[in-house]
Amino acid sequence: MKKLNDNTEKLQKVLANLGHGSRREIEALIAAKKISVDGKIATLGDRIDVRTQPKIRISGNLVPVRPKDKDVCRVLAYYKPEGEICSKNDPDGRATVFANLPKLKNARWINIGRLDINTSGLLLFTTDGELANRLMHPRNEVEREYVVRVFGEVTDQQVFQLRKGVQLEDGPAAFKSISAQGGAGLNKWFNVVITEGRNREVRRMWEAVGVQVSRLLRVRYGNISLPKWLSRGTWTELDLAAVNYLRDLVSLSTEEKTFLSVDQQKKPTKRIYAKRPAVNLKANKK
C-alpha cells in the first residue's frame, strides 16, 4: 500500500477545523456533491494538503484556507431556552439558538451536540470543528448531566432498568447514573447522566419504561456546568482554563490564546468549571 503524504488530512477534518461545520455536517455536504477541490467535485475519503493552498468551494463559494496556528479556539456556554431549535435556519420561522450568539469574521460557531426544541439548558459552541467532533463522538464518553421532571410514580424496578439498560430503536442505552431528587405530588425530579447524546435519548429512555418526561434541563457537559447566574437566551465565553480542560478531555493540543480581556479572565472560573459539579435543583426551577 502506498504510504500517504504525512501532510495530507481528510477534507472533512480540514473544513471542520476551519469552522465550516462538524465532520458529520461536512460529510453530508460532500455526499450531496456540494464541495469541490480545485474544480473537481469532492468525494468521501478525499485528502488534501493545506500547504498547497487548494481552492475549496462549498456550494460554489470559495473557502479561504488559513494556517491553523492563526486560529484561536473559542468556546461559548449558552443557556438554551425551550422553544429554540439547534439549526441555523428554519423554514417554519422558529427561533434558533444561533440568533443570540456574537457575530464572527472568517469563522462560525459550531454547536457541540444538540438539544431538542422542548429541552433547555447548557449548550456549548466552539469555533474549532475538530473539538466539536471529538466532544460529540460516542467513543470519548463525555458525560452529559440532566435534571429531569417526570409525571407519575416511578418504581425501583423502572430505575433499575434505566440503570441496567433499555432497548431503543437505534440500539441499547443506559444511564451512567440516576438519582431521585424528590418532588411534589405526581411530579418527580431526577438527575441522570449519559455519555452518548443520541437524538432525544433521555426522553426516549424514560418512555421505554413507560414514564413521561414533563421537563428536561441539561446542567453539565463534561465538567462544564451551566452557570446559575446565566439567564435564558444568553451566553458567556469560557476562559482559557476551561477551554483547555475540554481540549485535554479529547486529547487535543493546549490552546495558548484567548479573546477574553485581562479583566474578563479575572472572573472566578469555578462558577463554570468544577471537578464535581453540584446541581442545585431549586436554583434550576425557574
The better pLDDT of the pair 92, 238 is held by 238
In a domain, 131, yes or no: yes
More confident residue, 7 or 236: 236
Domain CATH number, residue 121: 3.30.2350.10
Running DSSP on this structure, what letter comes out for residue 176?
S
pTM score, whole prediction: 0.73
- pLDDT value for 273: 52
% of the chain residues with pLDDT over 70 = 87
- Domain containing 244 equals 75-138+223-284
Tell me the pLDDT tens digit for each residue of 47-64.
Answer: 998 888 899 999 999 988
The CA distance from 134 to 142, in Å, is: 9
Residues carrying an active site annotation? 116
191 and 54 in a common domain = no
Asked if the structure places residue 4 within a domain, the reply is: no
Is residue 130 domain-shared with residue 229, that is, in the same domain?
yes
The answer to whether residues 217 and 227 belong to one domain is no
Q: Considering just the CA atoms, what is the radius of gyration of the chain in Å?
A: 21
Q: How far is CA 94 from CA 82, 98, 253, in A?
A: 11, 12, 38
Q: What's the confidence (pLDDT) of residue 8?
A: 87
134 and 166 within one domain: no
Whose grid coordinates read 405530588? Answer: 185
Q: Provide CB contacts within 8 A for 174, sequence distance 6+.
A: 162, 163, 164, 165, 166, 205
Helices within 71-165 (DSSP H only): 129-136, 156-164
Give phi and psi for 240, each to the nearest 5.
-60, -40
Q: Identify whether residues 59 and 107 lie together within a single domain.
A: no
Q: Do 139 and 238 meet the contact criterion of CB atoms below 8 Å apart?
A: no
Do residues 65 and 121 both lie within one domain? no
Q: Where does the pLDDT of residue 269 fall: very low under 50, low under 70, confident under 90, or very high at 90 and above? A: very low
Map residue 68 onto helix, strand or coil.
helix
Query: Are residues 122 and 232 part of one domain?
Result: yes
State how many domains the chain has. Answer: 3
Four-CA torsion 218, 132, 271, 147, nearest 10 degrees: 10
Residues 169 and 147 in one domain: yes
26 and 157 fall within a common domain: no
For residue 6, what pLDDT band results from cuts at 50, 70 and 90? low
